[in-house]
Amino acid sequence: MTRRLAALAAAALATALAFAPAGSAATPEAVPNHHLTGYWQNFVNGAKPLKISDISANYDVIALAFGNADPAKPGAVTFNVDPELSSALGGYTDEQLKADIAAKKAEGKSFALSIGGERGNVDLGSEANVANFVDSVGKILTDYGINGLDIDLEHGLNVANTTSAIRQLRERVGDGFVLTMAPQTLDVQPGGSYLQLIENVKDILTVVHTQYYNSGSMNGCDGQVYSQGSVDFITAQACTLLQTLRPDQVSLGLPATASAAGSGYVDPSIVNNALSCLAAGTDCGQYTPDQPRPEIGGVMTWSINWDASSGNAFSDPVRTHLDSLP
């Protein structure tokens, strides 16, 4: 199916789902292969504040960053338009956000509620906390029309309880549940906590987009050590996940601008070379994959807002390259 036909089919399905009864377990369109994921910042920093309606059409999956831990109920999560962001946008309400999400879904886009981030965390240390998490996140997904969940927990990961929480949410949402993860590089090295979580839920996992930034040097699956800023740093680590997951479940996470991360920014041409290396065995560095994987999932970037601040200098060339892949 061509990308345009897939988009038309997604739009038709989303329009039909808009009239589904409230709270129904409607199934959204599957995330397309060679997709571009971006994080929408529900807070204000140096990046350009954006309404969901202002997000570039380049993006297929939009991760809403972030759901916050509820201080009154351990394990529970809250989500609404950040007051500072609303003010920066001249007034942006929860109802406007919901309407914007619905409109983007009608264009074939998918949404995930992101949990965690650099400064956030959710305590899933007990079964009671897991129950609070599932109840609160399930309600948010329904209320806002969000397709699923992005796991970005960076401050300790209870693998067993996170697995339980994910599977319970999947049961509530149904087959259309979108599940993404954004582990740090160390967490998907051999023995890393995310590798066990990935193994536990890979049958319902949409995609893993490892953060190939803010990282020290890491081992590649070829036994060599690679530093940030090269094609090899990306491709020789991606192959570790490719030993566990289908190619379409593996994406490459990079910052949209040098300001978006403390370290690890690379020119979009490096990102595109890494895609070509993994998909077709071309434009590689020192490391060359054992075989081409044309079904490679795509790219993730932190963040949509930083990309918009640069006039889509990241997403425009990456989107063009993704569309050129077989």
Cβ-Cβ contacts under 8 Å for 127 (sequence gap 6 or more): 161, 164
In the set 154, 171, 199, 295, the catalytic residue is 154
The backbone region for 184, taken as left when phi is positive above 0, alpha when psi lies in -120 to 50, beta otherwise, is beta
**Residues β-bridged to residue 300:** 37, 253
d(CA 227, CA 210): 15
d(CA 170, CA 134): 10
Residue 31, CA atoms < 13 Å, CB-side half-sphere: 33
Q: Is 63 helix (H, G, I), strand (E, B) or coil?
A: strand
Please identify which residue in the block is written with the tokens 């060359």.
288
Which helix (H) or strand (E) element contains residue 321?
Answer: helix 315-324
d(CA 39, CA 148): 14
As given in the structure block, the two tokens for residue 173 are 């949402």
Is 154 one of the annotated active-site residues of the chain? yes
Instruction: Kindly report the backbone phi and psi dihedral angles of residue 204, in degrees, each rounded to the nearest multiple of 5, phi listed first.
Output: -120, 10
Cβ-Cβ contacts under 8 Å for 207 (sequence gap 6 or more): 31, 35, 37, 61, 180, 181, 248, 249, 250, 251, 297, 298
Cβ-Cβ contacts under 8 Å for 287 (sequence gap 6 or more): 220, 222, 224, 226, 231, 232, 235, 236, 239, 277
d(CA 54, CA 34): 22
Which are the catalytic amino acids? Answer: 154
